[in-house]
Amino acid sequence: MITKLSHTSLFVTDQQKAYEFYVNTIGFKVNTDVTMENGFRWLTLTPPDQPDLEIAILAPLHGGMHYTEEVTNAFKTLLENNALGAGVLYTPNCHATYEELKAKGVQFKSAPKEQFYGIEAIITYGCGNWFSMTEPKTM
Amino acid sequence: MPNPADIYERIVNAKVYIDKNLDEALDLGCIARQANFSPYHFHRLFTNIYHKTPHQYLTYKRLQKAKELLEKEGISITEVCNTVGFESLGSFSTLFKKDSGDAPLYYRNIAYLKKKLAKEQPKRFIPHCFVETYNL
């Protein structure tokens, strides 16, 4: 029986920059932040109301990785082009959160827009990926 | 009648005011003034936007901040209680336990142990698939 998602990974170009964004700007919590002897930093964050979902913020270009050069380069290309859609962040009100985050300097690829699913804005934060910030439609 | 963008901006201002003044004795009138609405209208708009009443939001943020402080060293439970604006240790402990399932002291002890263990045995906190991928 599988009951929930406990860990997921998010590749970023810069772990510290991602930390600043997730923790200091949008209010995620640090679950574990430890640096190993070989310099690998295990940094996991949790959304404010999901304390048991750990998002591992990973630097894919870390030297010790078992990926081939070809795979590493592919990651690099995807991240450099902000091509990775990382997920959907829930908000109770997309317009209000957009106003608040914009005032904090967060970059948006698109402003809140009514979509079939709900109201959605797209956030980028300069770490190689982007997020949808969505207020789902009520039934 | 203010336009929707203006309403959002004013309600967000009040929300940010709550975020920044958790330690103060905030009441509805004082928070509503930050948005320049009457308490009645403010309460209705805020609840509509955030799906929490201003008071529920204030308590939610205070408890979040309390958790953050309890995970740090060198600050007593009473100091945490005062820093996040609860008036009595009793009501703080009761609300904290109701929210997180643990008493503040227990929460602090577990956080301390986890930090210590993560430093001493980091691999206990890293699923093996990551250990293998990153050759740790």
> A42 in contact with B at a CB cutoff of 8 Å?
yes
| Together in a domain, B39 and B77 | no
Q: Which residue segments constitute the domains of chain A, with CATH numbers given?
A: 7-136 (3.10.180.10)
Is the CB of A65 less than 8 angstroms away from the CB of B118? Answer: no
What CATH number did the domain enclosing B86 receive?
1.10.10.60
The model's pTM: 0.91
| Together in a domain, B5 and B32 | yes
| Together in a domain, B70 and B113 | yes
ipTM of the complex in this document = 0.88
pLDDT at A86: 84
* Core vs surface per residue B82-92: b (16+ CB within 10 A) or e: eebbbeeeeeb
Return the axis-axis angle of helices B54-70 and B89-100, rounded to nearest 10°.
90
Whether B46 shows a pLDDT value over 90: the answer reads yes
Residue in chain A lying closest to B126 (CA): A42
Domain count of the fold of chain B: 2
Domain's final residue, options B28, B51, B74: B51
State the residue range of the domain holding B35.
1-51
Residue in chain B lying closest to A23 (CA): B68
Which residue in this structure is represented by tokens 């070809």?
A: A70
Q: Are the C-beta atoms of B111 and B70 separated by less than 8 Å?
A: yes
Is the CB of A42 less than 8 angstroms away from the CB of B122? Answer: yes
pLDDT at B1: 59
pLDDT per residue over A79-102, tens digit each? 989 888 889 999 999 999 999 999
Min distance B64 CA to chain A CA atoms (Å): 8
Q: Confirm whether B57 is domain-assigned.
A: no
- For residue A103, the chain B residues in CB contact (below 8 A) are 12
pLDDT at A18: 94
Look up residue B97 and give its amino acid: K
| Together in a domain, B40 and B69 | no
